[in-house]
Structure 1
Amino acid sequence: MSVKRVTKKVGPCICLLLAGVLVLSGCGATVVIPDNAATGETATAESAGSRLGYLVADDSQEEEVWPVLAMLQGTAETAVWLPFAARLDVENIDQNPELPNGCEITSAAIALNYLGFSIDKVTLAQEYLPTCEPYWEADPEVEFMGNPQDELAFYCLPGAIVTAVNAYLEDVGSDYVAQDISGAPVEDLYRWVANGTPVLIWATRAFTDPLYNTTFQLPDGSWPYSNSHCLVLTGYDIDTCYLADPMLEVESVDRETFADVYNERGQYALVITEAAAQD
């Protein structure tokens, strides 16, 4: 994935260390310090669990101020610059009425159509999505639990969507591929969006508290979610995340709630990119 790198010198600014996050007064840009670039100077922020430094310098443009923190921490050559806001013009698709439990495959159709493919959600579900019935015998890591066209069905995780999307892309002769990026920290999702790639994320309906079905267990012994939901992250700014929601319930959510639910749900995420653009 390409990243924007800036070598322009900037003027002095004030740096504070608050709970492991370096902050400079004002507002400007965000610096992501890669995990493999940690030095003695970055150890405090890393040990606090933060990979973000927030930069602000008076009388400077956004692209001018971001290297300051990186230089202070000795990582100017490897820091990744992110804008404070990014928004993709993604057209939403309603999963209903055809796919009452098809949020994951509909989200895939949303992302594919944004990337210029012409595929409808039902075709993608019927011809490419691996399914298993009865749903209580399914492994959501590899197949959909039931049939997304049925009212009584459950969900799948990124593995099943990767299988479906890559089968479709192979059929149309595309060099795009679906990539499971589960486990990515939330700021990495913003990085994908800032580079023009919408991200499928697993959360809960309307970002509510998780609910579970206790009538059967998954292969790993856990209870299945009864309000699992897949949406497409299409943008963010300093306060808000923007989404294409196949259930048409939410268009945006505050960043703290987004991060909390994404992390609690297991950090499941997926992107569709050209093979050469994979991270």
Structure 2
Amino acid sequence: QEALEAQTLETAYAADDSTETQQDQQSQDAEAAESVAPGMRPDNADGFPRNRRDALGAMERELPSGFGRPNVMQVVSFTGLSGASASVPELFQYPSMPAGCEIYSLAAVLQAMDHDADPDSIVANQLPFDVEGDDCASAFWGDPYWSGEGMPPAIMAAGNAFLEEAGASERFANLTGTDFDELASKASSGTPVLVWTTLDFEDPYFDEPLEANSFYDLEHCVVLLGVEGHRACIMDPTQGYVTVNYDWFKYLYEQCGSMALAIA
């Protein structure tokens, strides 16, 4: 009887050790998942808000009348795109630059134009900052490595400074106020367009459309690559390649000040 009880206790201790080992391993796996190298998909990146992991499922809400669901879909690649639009790479801003969506979108377009554009180098060498803090349009406000926003004039200045230093003849133009259908046509013709929208393509619930160069919650910048059917093809520096309901993306563009930037 004593031998049987001893064997039972030994088995129980072994089970406890096994459970602790599994829990330790799970904890180690979770810690490892918190650190994702720049350029990798940021599903579990350190500092990546958990709600963004569920972005695709977070759209179950009532939307303004006349629209379908945003219907965000992540895709591996696009077919049918042309020119530089077909060459825009997936660049992920997390975990390297949490407030650098504009910089990563700009770098992606420059890379599609066969330039060796590095987001960190652009911040260090071409991005204008206003140290006095009273210029919120032609200079980046805040810190792209922490918290901040950049409007089209500032990002255009950075892009054109890069192109000038590279000896390129092309220049970016501020297309703010352009009809969205015209922007979509430009992207579909091979010229990718930086578009200011909202993070996760959320409804900003503005009472009326913003004026250009206004700061707003959920401010975000993505690259419009073209149109497939009734869906906008986008490179989002937080999600990679996605498609979004065309009318919904157009609505967001107009609500957020109709701000855009592209090669002239």
TM-score higher than 0.5: yes
* Alpha-carbon offset, residue 197 of structure 1: 0.5
Higher relative contact order (CA 8 A, sep 6+): 2
Looking at structure 2, the residues matched to 163 and 128 of structure 1 have their Cα atoms a distance apart, in angstroms, of 8
Q: How does 1:205-244 map to 2 (within 5 A)?
A: 205-210=199-204, 224-244=215-235
* Contact residue 90 and residue 240 of structure 2 kept, 8 A: no
Query: Do the aligned partners of residues 249 and 193 (structure 1) sit closer, same or farther apart at CA in structure 2, a change above 3 Å counting?
Result: closer
Aligned to 1:106: 104
Looking at structure 1, the residues matched to 163 and 183 of structure 2 have their Cα atoms a distance apart, in angstroms, of 23
Match 2:170 to one of 176, 196, 201: 176
Match 2:151 to one of 142, 147, 157: 157
Query: Do the aligned partners of residues 114 and 241 (structure 1) sit closer, same or farther apart at CA in structure 2, a change above 3 Å counting?
Result: same
Looking at structure 2, the residues matched to 94 and 138 of structure 1 have their Cα atoms a distance apart, in angstroms, of 30
* Contact residue 211 and residue 227 of structure 1 kept, 8 A: no
Amino acid of the residue matched to residue 143 of structure 2? N
* Contact residue 211 and residue 226 of structure 1 kept, 8 A: no
Aligned to 1:248: 239
Which structure carries more helix by proportion? 2
Amino acid of the residue matched to residue 142 of structure 1? S
Amino acid of the residue matched to residue 144 of structure 1? F
TM value normalised by structure 1? 0.59
The Cα RMSD (Å) is 2.2
Moved more, 180-189 or 222-231: 222-231
Looking at structure 1, the residues matched to 185 and 148 of structure 2 have their Cα atoms a distance apart, in angstroms, of 30
Amino acid of the residue matched to residue 132 of structure 1? D
Q: How does 1:1-279 map to 2 (within 5 A)?
A: 86=81, 88-89=85-86, 90-133=88-131, 137-150=133-146, 153-210=147-204, 224-248=215-239, 251-272=242-263, 278=264
Which structure carries more strand by proportion? 1
Moved over 6 A (4+): none
* Contact residue 235 and residue 243 of structure 1 kept, 8 A: yes
1:21-72 Cα deviation digits (max 9, x unpaired): xxxxxxxxxxxxxxxxxxxxxxxxxxxxxxxxxxxxxxxxxxxxxxxxxxxx
Looking at structure 2, the residues matched to 250 and 225 of structure 1 have their Cα atoms a distance apart, in angstroms, of 24
Q: Which SS does the other structure have where 2:148 is aligned?
A: coil
Looking at structure 2, the residues matched to 208 and 268 of structure 1 have their Cα atoms a distance apart, in angstroms, of 17
Looking at structure 2, the residues matched to 143 and 113 of structure 1 have their Cα atoms a distance apart, in angstroms, of 23
* Structure 1 unaligned residues grouped into runs of 5+: 1-84, 213-219, 273-277
Q: Percent identity?
A: 31
